[in-house]
């Protein structure tokens, strides 16, 4: 029997569009000889639907759409579809996260998700009533064991500290011939290596082939990387779909015996992996919001250069404008570097010198500020004038603004709210400054994209004469190490100091991190590429002590 | 036996400060004859601690602080303290939400929270490993039944559709003489009426006195209203602490027989209740963020007038500046109304005419905008110039900016991101326009606070000549009814139309609501006074169809 793993780029809430996409892929799979197609988790709604799940009309629409899809595919192919169903019991939450089998024009129960992730970016306990456990599904003379995403992430022989008390796969595996997991597993650096290690372990432990279908595409800050895959009963990888693209992986599953080796796309890692994630996330956010074109403010620095390069790869150079907004503190080099970058990328530029607005603001505020010292206020005014200008371009030309801040500066608040943070999407806000450099060097591996001078000059916000980031912040390698240890690795300040970091610097950095919470609360979505990103997976109080 | 219910205003994360506050109130209670003091839920950490719960150092600090507190209170009074403890089992989440008994210098287990709210603003499944159920606690010859907040909200005889499968009170009640619930239950309009009805039912159903201790104070967008209370075994209210203030309610509990009637503060309702909530929320946010002073932009309209009145009541008139930023489109009346309001409130004002900045922006953008029509872009520029100016005042004078948008305009996006939305806290963003008027009329009940002309003139953003809100939006009574039906009552568009709303208007309003999601994502915290507010309890995707 041939099974098709449908790795599709679905849009949250677009039930009709997602159904069309699933139907087309299922029909194509039938033509290629498949008897069964399998979607990713909640493919009909797009993951994560978030509070759309509280909308009763949408739940009804999901059921109607599923019924229609079953009738359309009648006699063509059977489909295991990730969707929702209402919980009709007199207790519990209102919805179930389910797989349904669409076959011969009918819709039958497949399974209900048992383990509901409620950590990091996940909120599934907010919506779903869990299933008690999965039953084997008879299909075409074989027995399938269906699970949904998190259900396969709690193997006590793999994880030192399982999050849940039940392992749904352990319960199910003995009763079935093949394990199938429908997922919507968001990307972060290196996650596929972990997934394949865990899934291979699970297949081997239970001695069953395991098919894994993942969603692909960007939905707000989350990027789904696809890379659906198949393992034989010894835990060997026998097939892998493409990363960061729609793909349908056909798997040959004999009724007796082992999985047949299939197509295994080469995996991605390192800078290439992050680059493709950012490009996909930027493109999907833009298009799924109904836009085609983008604006990036170019400062001559590395952050805006890398952001422009990503946006350019995502939308095409013809759809990107780079805006230079020099002040009297901008260096000649910054303008030259921006122009050179624009030339390398092949994008249009626009130059809007901000001095007239600086003077006007100074004039308006002169009576209020009489006798006061110049301070960070005047720097923020410059940034906010720039924010106002890029938003004016956005409004007038219907283009999205992409902001350029990195994770290091977002962490410590080295940015101006409503200034450099004004825009629709933060493209590189989950990359530390050091990672920004690494990605920029990688991008230049076959020739200059990011100008050499942008890479070599010391970082500066150019908001006052001869300003350098390092006047205000610790050196970026020191800063990044402390932030990474605290945010990604969960170390305490005591542990960071024990590891050799300067105590004063640790305390200062963590204080800055706390104090910048009010700024982060007001940022646009930031593409997540790390295991712990600012955004929906970072929920800190602002008023605290 | 006398029991003291400690209704205290704790600050999130301030373990040392909260411990001092609890200790002082416990000592005072001992002097007043109490043998046992009871705090609110998680009183040591302040509710909601959110992702601070993922900080291992904080959890260790909580244990140390609790031990110290036990030693300090040794021989003074026993204390039931809401706090956290690590989950040391080899499975499950890392923390438990517990009550501990501090007595004779020792710390003993009290109970672990069983039901973990994970809906609206609550995320407790994100952090806590649930308890299996509470055991009776022997104390001074009596048997106490401890539960924590949500544990008392799942009575199947009270709720038509219980959210959970277990009722911890049902299990416990038969084994104890008195029920005690430690809560951190955030305020919304009318919630106390519901609480007292439910708690009275529970006491009556089980035939046991019930003591309920609630947190008081604002923590970010949540306002805790206190109103701790006591019910006898027939479900009659025998005591109620003050609303929106710290208070200690002493309850007399004979070892045999019934609760003795105690002090019952009058309850609040209607506009008074909302007013006090907003004042407390504004004051606590400001002070807990380390600020004393505020800025409100005064437009002459009702939203900014009401916001200024709240901020003034919260911080004192001497700590508030009203900023008027007229443009050529501002009416003379608007300036007069703002001046009159400032006079009524007794606050300082400042006038910053924005025309020079408008001209500068026009000049800078002229080449880019050549040949283009004037549109909403130019209106947004005015709003963003004002945002830049108030933030400049904020930066220079270290004052928080309070933004003035209401729920109706926040819902449909009738605001300018980085313009009128630039600031630290949204004071009235959970009040529909009609509610803003009602509160303003209530505020004027003993004499003019909000100028009469501000109340009587048609709402206008004054961003172009002769502009009226009603040129762009449906009349506010129509708009508010649709929004309330959809957001608060959970009606579908079909149901709203069936209820008599114009179909086109319903579809238009709900489309505007969806399209404004990207703006709401970037708003500052907004004080929650409704059952469903924008903010942490409203989690919608942006890119969707």
Please give, rounded to a whole number of angstroms, the shortest distance from the CA of A385 to a CA of chain B. Answer: 8
- Does the beta carbon of B88 lie under 8 angstroms from any beta carbon of chain A? no
Question: Domain A2-257 - what CATH class?
Answer: alpha beta
Q: Determine the Cα–Cα distance for residues A371 and B437; give it in Å rounded to an integer.
A: 41
Among B380, B388, B527, most A C-beta atoms within 10 A, so best to mutate, is B388
Find chain A residues with C-beta within 8 A of B541's C-beta.
12-13, 48-50, 52, 219-220
- Does the beta carbon of A204 lie under 8 angstroms from any beta carbon of chain B? no
SS3 B97: strand
If we measure between CA atoms, which residue out of A290, A291, A237, A287 comes closest to residue A261?
Answer: A237
Cβ atoms of A13 and A45 within 8 Å: the answer is yes
Which positions 307-336 of A are in contact with B (Cβ < 8 Å)? Answer: none
Find chain A residues with C-beta within 8 A of B289's C-beta.
518, 542-543
Q: Determine the Cα–Cα distance for residues B369 and B385; give it in Å rounded to an integer.
A: 18
pLDDT averages per 10-residue partition of chain A, 545 residues: 97 98 98 98 98 96 98 98 96 97 97 98 98 94 96 97 96 96 97 98 97 98 98 96 98 80 90 98 98 98 98 98 96 94 98 98 98 96 98 98 98 98 98 98 98 94 88 94 97 97 98 98 98 97 95
Among B357, B394, B510, B528, most A C-beta atoms within 10 A, so best to mutate, is B357
Please give, rounded to a whole number of angstroms, the shortest distance from the CA of A373 to a CA of chain B. Answer: 9
How many Å separate Cα A273 from the centre of its chain? 12
Nearest CA in chain A to B369: A396
- A289 in active site: no
If we measure between CA atoms, which residue out of A103, A93, A25 comes closest to residue A67?
Answer: A103
Q: Which CATH superfamily is domain B273-464+516-520 in?
A: HUPs (3.40.50.620)
Please give, rounded to a whole number of angstroms, the shortest distance from the CA of B373 to a CA of chain A. Answer: 9
Distance between start and end Cα atoms, chain A: 61
A273-468+516-520 folds as: Rossmann fold (3.40.50)
Which positions 230-259 of B are in contact with A (Cβ < 8 Å)? Answer: none
Mean pLDDT of all residues in B38-54: 98
Is the CB of A493 less than 8 angstroms away from the CB of B57? Answer: yes
Cα A154 to Cα A115, A162, A168, A201, A473: the distances in Å are 9, 6, 8, 12, 41
Give residue A257's pLDDT. Answer: 66
Specify which residues A181 forms β-bridges with. Answer: A147, A212
Q: Determine the Cα–Cα distance for residues A433 and A478; give it in Å rounded to an integer.
A: 11
- A409 in active site: no
Find chain A residues with C-beta within 8 A of B545's C-beta.
11-14, 17, 288
* Alpha helices (runs of H) in A289-354, residue ranges in sequence order: 302-315, 332-345
Phi-psi region for residue A225, left (φ > 0), alpha (ψ -120 to 50) or beta?
A: alpha
Is the CB of B541 less than 8 angstroms away from the CB of A52? Answer: yes
Q: What residues contact residue B512 under an 8 Å CB cut-off, 6+ apart?
A: B411, B412, B413
Find chain A residues with C-beta within 8 A of B385's C-beta.
388
- Does the beta carbon of B207 lie under 8 angstroms from any beta carbon of chain A? no
Nearest to B545 among A17, A163, A284 (CB): A17
Is the CB of B368 less than 8 angstroms away from the CB of A393? Answer: yes
Question: Domain B2-268 - what CATH class?
Answer: alpha beta
Is the CB of A543 less than 8 angstroms away from the CB of B388? Answer: no
Nearest to B393 among A123, A368, A538 (CB): A368
Is the CB of A93 less than 8 angstroms away from the CB of B356? Answer: no
Is the CB of A368 less than 8 angstroms away from the CB of B361? Answer: no
What is the pLDDT confidence band of residue B257, given thresholds at 50, 70 and 90? low
- Does the beta carbon of A206 lie under 8 angstroms from any beta carbon of chain B? no
Q: B2, B23, B41, B379: which is the annotated catalytic residue? A: B41
**SS3 of chain A: helix, strand, coil, percent, to 5:** 40, 20, 40
Please give, rounded to a whole number of angstroms, the shortest distance from the CA of A477 to a CA of chain B. Answer: 24
Residue-averaged pLDDT of chain B? 96
Distance between start and end Cα atoms, chain B: 61
Structure tokens of B422? 């630039």
Find chain B residues with C-beta within 8 A of A395's C-beta.
375-377, 380
How many beta-carbon contacts under 8 Å exist across A and B? 252
- Does the beta carbon of B14 lie under 8 angstroms from any beta carbon of chain A? yes
Give residue B461's pLDDT. Answer: 87
Mind listing the pLDDT tens digit for each residue in B317-346?
999 999 999 999 999 989 999 999 999 999
pTM across the whole model: 0.97
Q: For chain A, what are the domain ranges? A: 2-257, 273-468+516-520
Find chain A residues with C-beta within 8 A of B219's C-beta.
541, 543
Nearest CA in chain A to B516: A289
Is the CB of A522 less than 8 angstroms away from the CB of B522? Answer: yes
Q: B2, B113, B433, B519: which is the annotated catalytic residue? A: B113
Is the CB of A392 less than 8 angstroms away from the CB of B354? Answer: no
Strand positions, DSSP E, A106-192: 106-112, 137-139, 142-148, 178-182
Nearest CA in chain A to B321: A368
Is the CB of A388 less than 8 angstroms away from the CB of B381? Answer: yes
What is the pLDDT confidence band of residue B167, given thresholds at 50, 70 and 90? very high
Give residue B197's pLDDT. Answer: 98
Is the CB of B11 less than 8 angstroms away from the CB of A392? Answer: no
Q: Determine the Cα–Cα distance for residues B258 and B239; give it in Å rounded to an integer.
A: 13
Please give, rounded to a whole number of angstroms, the shortest distance from the CA of B491 to a CA of chain A. Answer: 8
Structure tokens of B200? 């009275």
Is the CB of A360 less than 8 angstroms away from the CB of B357? Answer: yes
Specify which residues B219 forms β-bridges with. Answer: B222
Cβ atoms of A479 and A433 within 8 Å: the answer is yes
Q: Determine the Cα–Cα distance for residues B381 and B387; give it in Å rounded to an integer.
A: 10
Give residue B520's pLDDT. Answer: 98
Percentage of chain B beyond pLDDT 90 is: 95
Mind listing the pLDDT tens digit for each residue in B452-501?
999 999 999 888 888 898 888 999 999 999 999 999 999 999 999 999 99
Is the CB of B541 less than 8 angstroms away from the CB of A49? Answer: yes
Three-class secondary structure assignment of B280-338: HHHHHHHHHCCCCCEEEECCCCHHHHHHHHHHHHHHCHHHEEEEECCCCCCCHHHHHHH
Q: A2, A23, A103, A113: which is the annotated catalytic residue? A: A113
Nearest to A377 among B50, B51, B396 (CB): B396
Q: What residues contact residue A516 under an 8 Å CB cut-off, 6+ apart?
A: A410, A411, A412, A413
Find chain B residues with C-beta within 8 A of A91's C-beta.
156, 161-165
If we measure between CA atoms, which residue out of B428, B528, B517, B537 comes closest to residue B121?
Answer: B537
Which positions 443-472 of B are in contact with A (Cβ < 8 Å)? Answer: none
Please give, rounded to a whole number of angstroms, the shortest distance from the CA of A266 to a CA of chain B. Answer: 30
- A113 in active site: yes
Find chain A residues with C-beta within 8 A of B92's C-beta.
162-165
Please give, rounded to a whole number of angstroms, the shortest distance from the CA of A498 to a CA of chain B. Answer: 14
Please give, rounded to a whole number of angstroms, the shortest distance from the CA of A75 to a CA of chain B. Answer: 30
Q: Determine the Cα–Cα distance for residues B10 and B280; give it in Å rounded to an integer.
A: 13
Nearest to B388 among A361, A396, A518 (CB): A361
Find chain B residues with C-beta within 8 A of A381's C-beta.
388, 392
SS3 B207: coil
Place of tokens 């019924």: A67
Cα B261 to Cα A6, B7, B264, B462, B542: the distances in Å are 67, 19, 8, 57, 53
Backbone angles phi, psi at B401, to 5 degrees: -95, 130
Q: What is the DSSP annotation of B18-47? A: HHHHHHHHHHHHHHTT-SEEE--TTTTT-S
């Amino acid at each position: 029997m041939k099974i098709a793993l449908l790795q599709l780029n679905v849009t949250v809430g677009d039930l009709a569009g997602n159904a069309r996409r699933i139907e087309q892929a299922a029909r194509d799979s039938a033509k290629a000889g498949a008897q069964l197609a399998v979607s990713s988790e909640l493919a009909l709604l797009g993951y994560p639907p978030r509070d759309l799940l509280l909308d009763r009309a949408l739940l009804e629409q999901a059921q109607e759409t599923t019924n229609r899809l079953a009738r359309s595919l009648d006699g063509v192919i059977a489909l295991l579809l990730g969707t929702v169903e209402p919980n009709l019991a007199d207790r519990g939450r209102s919805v179930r996260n389910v797989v349904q089998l669409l076959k011969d024009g009918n819709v039958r129960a497949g399974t209900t998700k048992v383990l509901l992730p409620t950590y990091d970016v996940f909120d599934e306990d907010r919506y779903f009533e869990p299933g008690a456990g999965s039953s084997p599904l008879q299909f075409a003379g074989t027995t399938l064991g269906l699970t949904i995403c998190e259900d396969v992430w709690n193997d006590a022989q793999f994880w030192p500290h399982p999050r849940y008390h039940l392992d749904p796969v352990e319960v199910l595996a003995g009763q079935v011939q093949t394990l199938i997991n429908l997922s919507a597993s968001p990307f972060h650096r290196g996650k596929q290596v972990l997934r394949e290690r865990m899934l291979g372990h699970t297949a081997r432990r239970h001695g069953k082939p395991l098919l894994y279908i993942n969603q692909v595409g960007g939905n707000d800050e989350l990027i789904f990387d696809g890379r659906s895959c198949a393992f034989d009963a010894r835990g060997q990888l026998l097939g892998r779909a493409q990363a960061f693209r729609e793909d349908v992986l056909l798997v040959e599953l004999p009724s007796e015996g082992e999985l047949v080796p299939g197509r295994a796309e080469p995996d991605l890692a390192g800078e290439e992996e992050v680059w493709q994630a950012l490009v996909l996330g930027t493109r999907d956010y833009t298009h799924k919001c109904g836009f085609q074109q983008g604006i990036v403010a170019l400062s001559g620095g590395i952050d805006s250069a890398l952001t422009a390069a990503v946006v350019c790869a995502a939308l095409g150079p013809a759809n990107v404008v780079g805006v230079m907004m020099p002040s009297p503190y901008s260096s000649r080099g910054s303008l030259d570097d921006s122009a050179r970058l624009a030339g390398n990328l092949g994008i249009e530029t626009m130059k809007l010198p901000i001095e007239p607005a600086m003077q006007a603001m100074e004039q308006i505020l002169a009576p209020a500020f009489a006798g006061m010292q110049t301070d960070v206020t005047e720097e923020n005014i410059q940034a906010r004038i720039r924010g106002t200008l890029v938003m004016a371009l956005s409004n007038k030309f219907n283009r999205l603004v992409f902001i350029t801040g990195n994770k290091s500066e977002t962490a410590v608040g080295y940015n101006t709210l409503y200034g450099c943070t004004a825009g629709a999407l933060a493209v590189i806000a989950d990359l530390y400054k050091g990672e920004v450099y690494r990605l920029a060097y990688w991008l230049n591996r076959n020739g200059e994209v990011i100008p050499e001078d942008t890479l070599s000059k010391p970082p500066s916000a150019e908001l006052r004469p001869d300003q350098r980031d390092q006047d205000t912040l610790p050196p970026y390698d020191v800063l990044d190490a402390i932030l990474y240890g605290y945010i990604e690795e969960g170390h305490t300040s005591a542990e960071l100091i024990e590891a050799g970091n300067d105590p004063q610097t640790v305390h200062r950095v963590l204080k800055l991190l706390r104090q910048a919470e009010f700024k982060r609360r007001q940022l646009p979505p930031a593409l997540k590429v790390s295991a712990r990103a600012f955004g929906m997976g970072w929920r800190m109080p602002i008023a605290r002590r």
